Amino acid sequence: MLRLENVSAAYAQSPVLFGVNLEVRDGEAVTLIGRNGVGKTTLLRTITGLHAISGGELHLNGESVTREHAFARARAGLAYVPQGRGLFPHLTVEENLRMGLPALSGREGVKREIPELVFDLFPLCRDMAGRKAGNLSGGQQQQVAIGRALVTRPRCLLLDEPTEGIQPSIVGEIEAALTRVRRELQVAVLLVEQYLDFAWAFADRYYVMQKGTVVESGLTRDTPTASVQRYLGV
């Protein structure tokens, strides 16, 4: 589905990612963990095309998209929920959801409307359709942000710390919704997360990043969270 080979990226003359190798297979849930500042957000932005790749190769569905722009990668099935949700606070929930629709242009047989499943997974997207997104709670905004990403009918969803600043009861709802997304839509997920219990409950496999590169990977079910906690400690 998604394969990174030796991917590097930099901010001006400062390298931040060094030869990252990572794979997310069809329908798989993978979590990427690591301390603040190791390059997780930069990696997600590099995958989406929002940040320039300076070396290596990026494959989507078996084809190289290394030189494709963000819009082409979205059309090829990538969707991204950024850290802090990235909603437009002065637009309504419905207007935010509709922002995902342009990525569908040119895709044959796909109606340019919000799929019913988004309302089914996140009923607040219908119940609060006319409310300004900026007036919603953090947990509600996160649900709208995931709903907006699903509007593009992605095959691979990239999520940057969806539990950040969200109360535990809502984390459970988000986990349940994402599990349904995987099962019912066969969407693969790459989840950047600091909340290990959530990441381990959700993901099949994990990667650990340190200083801009992957230093460990494995199956979550074979690896107690205690053994990777040291990578997140101060």
Ligand X SMILES: Nc1ncnc2c1ncn2[C@@H]1O[C@H](COP(=O)(O)OP(=O)(O)OP(=O)(O)O)[C@@H](O)[C@H]1O
Footprint on this chain of ligand X (rule: CB under 6 A): 11, 16, 34, 36-42, 83
Q: CA-to-CA distance for 96 and 81, rounded, in angstroms?
A: 13
Q: How far is the CB of 187 from ligand X (least distance, A)?
A: 22
Report d(CA 141, CA 26) in Å as an integer. 27
Closer residue to ligand X (CB): 122 or 200:
200
Tell me whether residue 14 or residue 169 sits nearer to ligand X (CB atom).
14
CB of 36 to ligand X, least distance (A): 3
Residue 78 tokens read as: 């990538």
**Shortest reach from residue 28's CB to ligand X, in Å:** 21
Q: Which is nearer to ligand X, 8 or 41 (CB)?
A: 41
71, 60 contact by CB (below 8 A): no
Q: Nearest approach, Cβ of 109 to ligand X (angstroms)?
A: 37
Residue closer to ligand X by CB (options 83, 217) is 83
Q: Which residues make beta-bridge pairs with 207?
A: 32, 217
Q: What angle do CA 34, 35, 36 make, to 5 degrees?
A: 125
Q: Between 120 and 197, name the residue whose CB sits nearer to ligand X.
A: 197
Closest approach of ligand X to the CB of residue 50, in Å: 11
Burial class (CB in 10 A: 0-12, 13-18, 19+), 2: buried
Instruction: List, in order, residues 6 or more apart from 219 with CB less than 8 Å away.
Output: 204, 205, 206
Q: Which two tokens stand for residue 24?
A: 């997310």
CB of 62 to ligand X, least distance (A): 27
Which residue's CB is nearer to ligand X, number 85 or number 153? 85
Cβ–Cβ under 8 Å, residues 92 and 130: yes
Angle (CA) 142 53 97, round 5°: 25
Radius of gyration of the chain from its Cα atoms, rounded to whole angstroms: 17
